[in-house]
Amino acid sequence: MLRHTVIQNVPIAHAGGVRTPAAVFNEIFTVFLGLGTLVGIVVCAYTVYNAYAYRDTGEESKADADRPELGELPTGGGGGKKLFLSFGISAIIVLSLIVWTYSTLLYIETGPDSQQVQENALEINVEGYQFGWQFEYPNGQTTSGTLRVPQNEMVMLNVTSRDVFHNFGSPELRFKTDAIPGQSTKTWFVGQQAGTYEAKCYELCGTGHSYMNATVEVMPRDDYQQWYNGSESE
Amino acid sequence: MSDLPPKSSIRRWFLTTNHKDIGILYLVTALFFLVFGGLLAMLFRVELLTPAADFLGESGYNQAVSTHGLLMVFWFISPFAFGFANYIVPLQIGADDLAFPRLNALSYWLYLFSGILFGISFFQGVTFPGGWTMYAPLNTPAYMPGEALGATSVVLAMIMFVAAVTLGSVNFLTTMYRMRAEGLRMRDIPMFSLSINLTVWMMLFAFAALLAALIILSSDHIIGTNYFTYQIDGDTFATNVNNPGSSMLWAHLFWFFGHPEVYIVFFPALGVMAECFQTFTGRRLVGRKWFIISMVLVALQSFIVWMHHMFLTGINLEIKTLFMATTIGISLPFDLMVFSLIYTMIKGRVRYMTPFLFSLGALLLFILGGITGVFLGAVVLDYQFRGTYWVVAHFHYVMVAGATALFGGLYYWYPKMTGKMYNEFLGKVHFAVYFIGFNLLYFPMFIAWETPRRVFNYPVELTVWHNLSTVGAIILGGSFLIMFYNLFVSYFRGAEVGDQPWEFATSAEWAVASPPPLENFDGVPSYASGTLEFLSPSDVAKRQSGHSGAAADGGTAETSPATDGAGAEAGALATTETALATGAGTAEPTGHEHASHASFWPFMISLGGFLLFLGLSGIRTGSMLYTSLALVGGILGFGSLVGMAQEPFFAPETAIAERWPFADVEKMKLGMWTFLASDIVLFGAFIGSYAFIRFAYGWEAWHHDLIPEAHVTFPGLVNTYLLLTSSFAVVLAMVAAEKESRAGVMASLGATFALGVGFLINKGIEWQHLFHIHTEAFPEGWAITTNLASSTFYLTTGLHAAHVIIGLIIAGYMFFRSWNGAYLGDEKPIEYFGLYWHLVDIVWLFLFPLFYIL
Ligand code: HEM
Ligand SMILES: [Cu+2]
Ligand SMILES: [Cu+2]
């Protein structure tokens, strides 16, 4: 399925405007972090407050009439309403968060809405091995260690492995997928800023795992074109 | 049967089958593994002071991380919880021991020896370096440095550990369903016991799946099957195809076990928290019923969330959505439980004793762990968190929160177990240092979450966070010195405590002396009147003659004579994969007055098993040493099994007990049922594995590429016939026993045996033939290592054949006993054996079409 013509002849489908996976992640993460921190603080504070408020002061209290006794059979313990109220609230928070993220999951799974952007996506085959990464471009050429992609273009990665289980991901560009021998998985991203990014292996794969990095070079279109055409004739 | 020496004697600890002794052994051993795993963690935390492998080295780092995880998850946390379970559960439910005391001892010794085997792996060159999740194909020798014998030992140690767990699960389930005090319904048992009940249910099935994965993996290591191999020496298995299913097969098997495992780890801790909250707040658990329902839901649902560990493996959107939903769904019952604990404090008389501090701390930590788990449940976020320190931080906040509660449990029950009070001040100091150390260790991991897991060269700008973590690790580790000192010194100098050192404790363990007497209760515990009472022998006799008290959930307190099930804890047992409890052994004539509490065989069996496994770990090198170890171990283990089956051992069932819902299933049969249930999962996982890699390879191509013409249906057909007939013969034996016909019993058992042997001979001939074929496609025969199809064929049917062999050993043993007139009028042992044999038979009915026809 190599498409040799890719870059040269098709009209440019600019993906500079699409929501990148990185943007999606940052947005959701921020909301989760905000809400999570809030809920965490409230619940923990309330817990500690109760532990403090009902500390044993040695004074008698009304509730003392009904303390548990040795050898009794357990009974309900009451308080069901309150329990369900707080349970209900937490369930609503969790469920709405998840439902909200679900649409973005669909987006990440299917890619940008623009048909054109999708059709013109640059497909690159990535193969992990102990301990490095090899990239194969539509024109058949391969590079090792450095993945070169054009700026503002959707890049579709088909990731696999030649030996053991690896995982190919980039912390800045926010793509990540397992590299499984005998299987192939997909992920996509758009580099909207030219520059050099890191990619790493995220699954323990042997002694060289910690070093199994690659760089992702996001290049301005013209530079990319030049490199791409030039390398073909090599 | 030998007598039980006093506690001061070393011999006692090798002989004891008493649940309290074994509980102590578990606790001490588990704490040893905590220190072992903890020191490994210290090592790699030191390594992580700088972002480079300048201390342990690359391979050393991987080994330390991997073994730390394995030791903590398997050898520390669950056994620690089961130390309490052993000690406390029988006391809480009003039983005087577990249902099968010798199996309980056997569980412990298998556990201990599995840990020793694990320890030895460090000295076999390189131990297992592939992470606690052991992803394939990195877990096979092809990708390991050297001969990988250490890694094989680890896999075998895990198998031994699983055998221990399976025996334990069978034992606890039988105990809890057959030996509860009168009037104590399942839903009434104290929260800790209840959590253990649900834990062992999960264990029974989850560990069976793990066992399948481990047996397959060890066979890949030792006899060279190819399930988890991706290629053979860089070559494909057949034209153009490797083994595309290898990685995913492991991932599915492992996580099918792995997710329930996280609750298996956490549930006992929840139980401890519930107990401590009730006692130290002086309030009954709020919404107890809903708490229990939540736990049951979680236990069930835990088996359908495993793929959330595999969101990046390319599974399709529908499945992802499903597993996202189940994952979020399973977090909701936990919300309820958390709130229930929080509300329990209201109107309480909260006393900040050490056990409560640890429980409260555990709750706070768990809240954070749970919230960060919800982050992971959102698939889009999980994509980025996968393989990073976020996951590491999350699961430490939940799992070690669990451990935190268990340390609370240690303080809580320490006075019960020793009769001495620990030093409260030191306990509080321990908690303070522990809590600070914990958060200093794990919280920075959230901040440094961009660090990939299991690397030593993290981004330099994160150094400060990693260094904080390391400092936290040292503080956390150091806090245990306080605990060990406290518990050790208090044992000698602590204040004496009475039966109930904690005000407002309710459960039955606080109604007996500290420490409790050997047989727990004077008199028979009963809740029939609504509160705990101890019945005198005459009360019991009265109750047995009258009709028994009924319980509201349809349970009846069934009465049975005290001699019921005499010596029924006969057992032929457990070697590698088949922990088989059967009544085939000694149904010793009654007449013993006293229950037995000592047996040397569990230790000997485990020692034999240990030597056998140690030998197996290196047998592929052909070394004399390893081979002879395996031989000696095998003989010792087998001999000890026979010894145990011969040994008269009396484990009486309580005269009156609450037995819902298994009032009509006697102890041995219930034990057998539960064991067979796990065996079904084992075979299910094997069959599933076969289908999985065949499907990944190409269902039709498999047949075409990998299977020789000579592999024909006929031998399988004959074997189907032989097995079916032999099952029929077992039924005849039962009938003959009922009719008290010695000749009939002997003839039928003899027929069963002969047919089984016929099955094996036929199989042997078939295999020999296939091994030695010479065809164009298979010039060197169709051996175990030849290809994927041969691997699956020989291993799966081989596992079945191993079951047949074990069955035959039992059948042979029973044949000899029937010669001496056993079983006449008492067909029960034949029935138990029959259950097993029929299952083996049924399994074949699945294997035959799968491996011969399709
Ligand atoms: C609030 C409920 C929870 C949710 C929603 C949740 C969710 C998750 C998810 C989605 C993962 C996979 C992360 C990944 O690898 O990409 C994960 C990992 C993990 N969780 Fe949880 N979790 C919860 C509670 C727990 C509990 C109670 C425990 C244990 C006591 C636990 C232990 C673990 C462990 C050990 C892992 C990592 C396994 C590994 O990759 O080594 N989790 N959790
Ligand atoms: Cu790697
Ligand atoms: Cu999970």
Read off the pLDDT band of A231 (50, 70, 90). Answer: low
For B392-417, the DSSP string reads: HHHHHHHHHHHHHHHHHHHHHHHHHH
Identify whether A65 is part of a domain.
Answer: no
Identify whether A6 is part of a domain.
Answer: no
**Same domain, residue pair A147 and A219:** yes
β-bridge mates for residue A187, sequence order: A157
**Same domain, residue pair A201 and A145:** yes
Q: Assign residue A137 the CATH number of its domain.
A: 2.60.40.420
For B181-211, the DSSP string reads: PBT--GGGS-HHHHHHHHHHHHHHHHHHHHH
Q: Where a domain ends, among A67, A87, A116?
A: A116
Could you give the number of structural domains in chain B? 1
Q: What is the dihedral of CA B826, B829, B830, B834, to 10 degrees?
A: 140
Q: What is the pLDDT of residue A154?
A: 94
Please answer whether residues B530 and B506 qualify as being in contact, where contact means their C-beta atoms are separated by less than 8 angstroms: no
Which structure tokens are listed for A185? 């998985």
- Residue B461 contacts by C-beta under 8 Å, 6 or more apart in sequence? none
Identify whether B633 is part of a domain.
Answer: no
Burial level of A166, CB count in 10 A (0-12/13-18/19+)?
Answer: buried
**Same domain, residue pair A93 and A157:** no
Identify whether A7 is part of a domain.
Answer: no
Q: List pLDDT tens digits, range B11-65.
A: 999 999 999 999 999 999 999 999 999 999 999 999 999 998 889 999 999 999 9
**Does the beta-carbon distance from B332 to A94 stay under 8 Å?**
yes
Pocket of ligand 1 (CB under 6 A): B 133, 262, 265-266, 308-309, 327, 331, 334, 370, 373-374, 376-377, 382, 385-386, 391, 394-395, 398-399, 402
> Which residue has its alpha carbon closest to ligand 1 atom 3?
B373
Chain mean pLDDT for chain B? 92
Identify whether B123 is part of a domain.
Answer: no
**Does the beta-carbon distance from B378 to A101 stay under 8 Å?**
yes
Q: What percent of chain A has pLDDT over 70?
A: 91
Residues in chain A: 234
- Residue B611 contacts by C-beta under 8 Å, 6 or more apart in sequence? B629, B630, B632, B633, B636, B637
Ligand 3 centre to CA of B271 (Å) is: 20
Find the ligand nearest to B378 CA. 1
Domain holding B839, by residue range, is: 698-853
Identify whether B215 is part of a domain.
Answer: no
B285 touches chain A (CB under 8 A): yes
Q: Kindly report the backbone phi and psi dihedral angles of residue B753, in degrees, each rounded to the nearest multiple of 5, phi listed first.
A: -60, -50
Ligand 2 centre to CA of B61 (Å) is: 14
What is the least distance, in Å, from the CA of B596 to any CA of chain A?
28
- Between positions 366 and 395 of B, the ones with CB within 8 A of A are 367-368, 371-372, 374-375, 377-381, 383-384, 386-388
Determine which helix (DSSP H) or strand (DSSP E) holds B369, and give its type and residue range: helix B354-377
**Same domain, residue pair A145 and A194:** yes
> Which residue has its alpha carbon closest to ligand 1 atom 23?
B373
- Between B82-86, B141-145, B683-687, the lowest mean confidence (pLDDT) is in B141-145
B821: left (phi over 0), alpha (psi -120 to 50) or beta: left
Tokens 């940052």 correspond to: A26
Closest CA to B215 of B630, B689, B691, B582: B689
Q: What is the dihedral of CA B396, B401, B404, B405, to 10 degrees?
A: -150
A135: Cα within 13 Å, side-chain hemisphere? 20
Identify whether B825 is part of a domain.
Answer: yes
Quickly count: other Cβ atoms within 10 Å of residue B1's Cβ: 19
Identify whether B192 is part of a domain.
Answer: no
* Of residues B350, B363, B364, nearest to A54 (C-beta): B350
What is the least distance, in Å, from the CA of B377 to any CA of chain A?
8
Identify whether A179 is part of a domain.
Answer: yes
Find the ligand nearest to B265 CA. 1
* Residue ranges with CB less than 5 Å from ion ligand 3: B 259
> Which residue has its alpha carbon closest to ligand 1 atom 2?
B331
Could you give the number of structural domains in chain A? 2
| Strand pairing report for A122-129 and A154-161 | parallel
Read off the pLDDT band of B654 (50, 70, 90). Answer: confident
B243 touches chain A (CB under 8 A): yes
**Same domain, residue pair A106 and A160:** no
**Same domain, residue pair A226 and A132:** yes
**Same domain, residue pair A131 and A225:** yes
Q: List pLDDT tens digits, range B293-320.
A: 999 999 999 999 999 999 999 999 999 9
Q: Kindly report the backbone phi and psi dihedral angles of residue A156, in degrees, each rounded to the nearest multiple of 5, phi listed first.
A: -110, 125
Interface with A, mutate which of B70, B227, B247 (most A CBs under 10 A): B247
Burial level of B411, CB count in 10 A (0-12/13-18/19+)?
Answer: buried
Interface with A, mutate which of B184, B250, B342 (most A CBs under 10 A): B342
* Of residues A28, A87, A167, nearest to B339 (C-beta): A87
Interface with B, mutate which of A69, A83, A126 (most B CBs under 10 A): A83
Q: Where a domain ends, among A85, A100, A116?
A: A116
Q: Assign residue B755 the CATH number of its domain.
A: 1.20.120.80
Identify whether B784 is part of a domain.
Answer: yes
**Does the beta-carbon distance from A182 to B230 stay under 8 Å?**
yes
Identify whether A69 is part of a domain.
Answer: no
**Same domain, residue pair A128 and A223:** yes
Does the pLDDT value for residue B593 go beyond 60?
Answer: no
Rounded CA-CA distance B9/B3 in Å is: 12
Identify whether B705 is part of a domain.
Answer: yes
Identify whether A99 is part of a domain.
Answer: yes
Taking chain B, what is the end-to-end CA distance rounded to the nearest angstrom?
Answer: 52
Domain holding A101, by residue range, is: 14-56+77-116
The b-or-e profile of B92-119 (16+ CB within 10 A means b, else e) is bbbbbbbbbbbbbbbbbbbbbbbbbbbb
Choosing from B257, B384, B394 the residue with most ligand 1 atoms within 8 A of its CB, the one to mutate for a pocket test is B394
Rounded CA-CA distance B46/B56 in Å is: 9
Taking chain A, what is the end-to-end CA distance rounded to the nearest angstrom?
Answer: 21
Long-range contacts of B42-47 (CB under 8 A, 24+ apart): B42/B473, B42/B474, B42/B477, B44/B68, B44/B456, B45/B469, B45/B470, B45/B473, B45/B474, B46/B470, B47/B456
**Same domain, residue pair A162 and A98:** no
Q: Where a domain ends, among A116, A133, A167?
A: A116
Residue of A nearest to B368 (CA): A40
* Of residues A90, A163, A204, nearest to B230 (C-beta): A163
Q: What percent of chain B has pLDDT over 70?
A: 94
Q: What is the pLDDT of residue B2?
A: 63
**Same domain, residue pair A228 and A178:** yes
Q: List pLDDT tens digits, range B361-387.
A: 999 999 999 999 999 999 999 999 999
Ligand 2 centre to CA of A206 (Å) is: 7
Closest CA to B576 of B158, B220, B274: B158
**Same domain, residue pair A182 and A167:** yes
Identify whether A66 is part of a domain.
Answer: no
pTM of the model as a whole: 0.94
Alpha helix ranges (H) inside A54-114: 80-110
Rounded CA-CA distance B159/B491 in Å is: 35
Q: Number of residue pairs across A and B with CB atoms under 8 Å?
A: 281
**Does the beta-carbon distance from B283 to A77 stay under 8 Å?**
yes
Q: Kindly report the backbone phi and psi dihedral angles of residue B114, in degrees, each rounded to the nearest multiple of 5, phi listed first.
A: -65, -40
Read off the pLDDT band of A184 (50, 70, 90). Answer: very high
Q: List pLDDT tens digits, range B457-481.
A: 999 999 999 999 999 999 999 999 9
B136 touches chain A (CB under 8 A): yes
Residue of A nearest to B53 (CA): A210
Identify whether A2 is part of a domain.
Answer: no
Residues in chain B: 854
Sign of CA dihedral B667, B672, B677, B682: positive
**Same domain, residue pair A163 and A190:** yes
> Which residues of chain B make contact with A19, given a CB cutoff of 8 A?
none
